[in-house]
Copies of this chain bind each other. A is one copy, B any other.
Amino acid sequence: MISIENIGKDIERWLSELDYSREPKNLYEPVGYSMSLGGKRLRPTLCLAACALFRDDYEDAKWCALAIEVFHNFTLLHDDVMDKAGIRRGKPTVVAKYGINAAILSGDAMLIESYRLLGMTDSPSFALVDETFNKVAAEVCEGQQLDMDFETRTDVTTDEYLEMIRLKTAVLIAGALKMGALIGGATAADIEALYEYGILIGLAFQIQDDLLDTFGDEETFGKAIGGDIMTNKKTYLLISALERGDTQQRRDLAQWMSLKDPIREEKIAGVRALFEQTGARKATEEKIEQLFSQAMSKLREMEIPAEGKRAFIDNAQKLFKRKK
């Protein structure tokens, strides 16, 4: 049986074999730094696990998995430039450490590097893999654009929010599964089921992340709670509260959001209370449960033997288990 622990070890080994110590140093050192920031390697793991569902090993999906991880880190790098973010995974972001021009150009080099890695894929399905990669990559940019557009809008709906996180987060997770399955030689129906699973689990994952940012436990979540509240981030929680609240509750929310220099604890407590009172917290928790459950149904639809399906579901549940 292929375990996600073994997949994880292979991914770290393969990543460590990518050499970014080359010249010009000012271009490639930030690439290496970006890749060294770590993370769960969720997307390449899913890509390899999906491939292994349909054949004995996942070696053929190696380059595709690495391409996806480099691409993902490229998006984080450029997002941090656009968001002027200073910290990522507890360390200085590339833009904070190397400056804006280095961050832009190194990000470009990473995007190109991701295509170089993808091109190493030796598979009869390469044309479809390439097409999927291109589509997903464009969609991730579209999602980031919508996210930025939302910052200046006050009328974003939960449906629009779901579409934004589908593009920004879910399609890359779904695409990683689809590309792995393509290389693995899956049937069109199984590829479709895995892709749909990826979309649903990606949406659930992102909304859960939003929920934990507001209602999580600081110690287990690993970062300060309430960041989204302090920046008035248009999360599923906030949008739900604005959709569900009565006139007074909406007015109170708008009041908290308009404060120029609020006391942190007061604003977080005030907004959290409104998320409870409007039923937004409950609606968000229900949405996550619904998406998780729909995701599992999609997996069960797959035509592969029950044993492989069960192992994959176990692995997926380990991957997506979040600290409450």
A146 → B minimal CB distance (Å): 6
Chain B CB count within 10 A is highest, among A127, A141, A144, for A141
Known interface pairs A78-B105, A148-B101. Does A141 touch B119 (Cβ–Cβ under 8 Å)?
no
Residues of B contacting A82 in the complex (Cβ-Cβ under 8 angstroms)? 101, 104-105
Interface-facing stretch out of A107-115, A194-202, A312-320: A107-115
Residues of B contacting A101 in the complex (Cβ-Cβ under 8 angstroms)? 82, 148
Judge if A145 is at the interface, Cβ distance under 8 Å: yes
Judge if A142 is at the interface, Cβ distance under 8 Å: yes
Contact with B along A106-138 (1 / 0, CB 8 A): 011101110110010000000100110011011
Chain B, residue nearest A143 (CB): B24
Contact check, A26 vs B148: say whether CB atoms are below 8 A apart: yes
Contact with B along A141-162 (1 / 0, CB 8 A): 1101110110000000000000
A141 → B minimal CB distance (Å): 4
Residues of B contacting A145 in the complex (Cβ-Cβ under 8 angstroms)? 24, 26-27, 105
Contact with B along A77-121 (1 / 0, CB 8 A): 010011000000000000000000100110111011101100100
A211 → B minimal CB distance (Å): 26
Contact with B along A24-60 (1 / 0, CB 8 A): 1011000000000000000000000000000000000
Q: A24-B142, A27-B142, A107-B108 are in contact. List 11 more A-B contacts (CB 8 A).
A: A26-B148, A78-B108, A105-B141, A109-B138, A112-B134, A112-B138, A115-B115, A115-B134, A116-B134, A119-B127, A119-B134
Can you identify 7 A-B contacts, CB atoms within 8 angstroms? Answer: A24-B145, A27-B145, A107-B108, A109-B142, A112-B141, A115-B115, A119-B131
